[in-house]
Amino acid sequence: MDQWWINGRASRHVDVSDRGFTYADGLFETVAIRAGTPRFLDLHLDRLLTGCGRLSIAAPTRARLAADLKATVRDIPHGVLKVFVTRGPGPRGYALPDSPTTTVAWGTGESRAQPSLPIEIRWCETMTSANPATAGLKSLGRLEQVLARAEWQQPEIAEGLMLSTEGQLVGGTASNVFLVTGDRLLTPVVHRAGIAGVMRRVVVEAAMGAGIPFLETQLSPADVRNATEVFVTNALTGIRPVRQLGAQNWGTGPITRHLCGLLFAAGVGECAGQS
C-alpha cells in the first residue's frame, strides 16, 4: 500500500491503544480499484456496516465514507483499497469504552492488471475456528489465516483450502470456494466459520440471476474430491478456476466459464479469457 489516511487525514499512525491493535476489535475490507473507482463499493459497505452493527461499533456515516473513498481512488487506474474500522482507542481491559470513538482508516496501492488464470491449490493443516459470534465477519483477527498461508512457500501454489475445527470445508486462506457437483453450484455456509465474501455474493447473485441451481450448505473434503468444477473467489481476483489440488486435476468447466462471462460483463475484468 502506498498511501494511508487515518480518520480522514494523511497518516500512517495508529494509536497503540487503538482496540484494533490491542484486541483485533474491528473490521476491514479489501476493495479492488478499477478505472479510478472502488469496485462493488456498495457491497463492501453493506458488509462493513452490517459488521459494525453485529459488533456494536458506532458505524461511520455511509454516504460520507463512500464519498471519501471514491475521492481517494479517483486517480488510480488499477489497484487496491483497504478500509479499516475499529472501536478506536480505549483504556486497558475488554470492557467497551464509555465513549468510544470509531477509528476509520484506509490505504491505497497501485497494481498491475492481470487476468485470473486457473490455479493450483493445496490443503492447509491449520484449521479455521468455528464461532457463530464472529462467523461471516471480516474481522481483524486473522491469525489462523496467517498460519495457514505460512504452510507453503512454493510460488506455483496460489491458495490453500481450510477446514473448520468442526471438519467442514470453509474456503481458501484469502478466498471463498465454490464447487460444481451434478450441475449444481455449491458453496460453504458462513454461519459458523468463514467470511461472507463480496465476490462470493457477486457470484451467488450472478448464478441465481442466470438460473444456475445453487446451494449454500455444509461441505466436506469429500465434496471437493467429488466436484466436477472447483473455483475460488475474492474481491481482487474475481473467479480463479482451480486446475490442480494434490493429485487431482480439473479443467475449467462450463458453469465456471458461464459465471466468468457473467462477472466479466458485471465489471470483473480479470475474468477475461475464462469464458
Please identify, among the stretches 34-42, 86-94, 115-123, 252-260, the one whose residues bind its own copies according to the rule CB under 8 A.
Answer: 86-94
Q: What is each CA distance from 19 to 15, 29, 84, 99, 246, in whole angstroms? A: 9, 17, 12, 13, 40
- Where would I find the H helices in 150-197? none
Nearest to 15 by CA among 92, 65, 90: 90
Which of 37, 46, 78, 109 binds its own copies (CB under 8 A)? It is 109
Does residue number 53 form part of the binding site for its own copies (CB under 8 A)?
A: no
6 scored as a contact of its own copies (CB under 8 A): yes
User: In terms of Cα–Cα distance, which of 190, 254, 157, 177 is closest to 223?
Assistant: 177
Query: For cell 462467523, what's the residue?
Result: 135
For residue 7, how many other CB atoms are within 10 A of its CB? 12
CB of 162 to its own copies, least distance (A): 10
Residue 199 identity = M
User: With binding defined as CB under 8 A, does residue 16 bind its own copies?
Assistant: yes
202 binds its own copies (CB under 8 A): no
Of 149 and 201, nearer to its own copies (C-beta) is 149
- Cell triple for 120: 493450483
Q: What is the DSSP string of 110-150?
A: E--------EEEEE-SSPBP--TTTTB--BS--HHHHHHHT
Q: Is 178 in the site for its own copies (CB under 8 A)?
A: no
**56 part of the interface to its own copies, by CB under 8 A:** yes
78 binds its own copies (CB under 8 A): no
Nearest distance from C-beta of residue 31 to its own copies, angstroms: 12
Whose Cβ is closer to its own copies: residue 27's or residue 212's?
27
Regarding 174 and contact with its own copies (CB under 8 A), the answer is yes
Cβ-Cβ contacts under 8 Å for 35 (sequence gap 6 or more) = 77, 78
Q: Evaluate whether 263 touches 238 at the Cβ level (below 8 Å).
A: yes
Closest approach of its own copies to the CB of residue 145, in Å: 5
Total number of residues binding its own copies (CB under 8 A)? 59
C-beta closer to its own copies: residue 173 or 252: 173
Cα separation, 62 vs 60, in Å, equals 6
Q: Shortest approach of its own copies to residue 214 CB, angstroms?
A: 28
Q: Is 114 among the residues that bind its own copies (CB under 8 A)?
A: no
Contacting positions for its own copies (CB under 8 A): 1, 4, 6, 11-25, 28, 30, 55-56, 80, 82, 84, 87, 91-96, 105, 107, 109, 126-134, 139-150, 165, 173-174
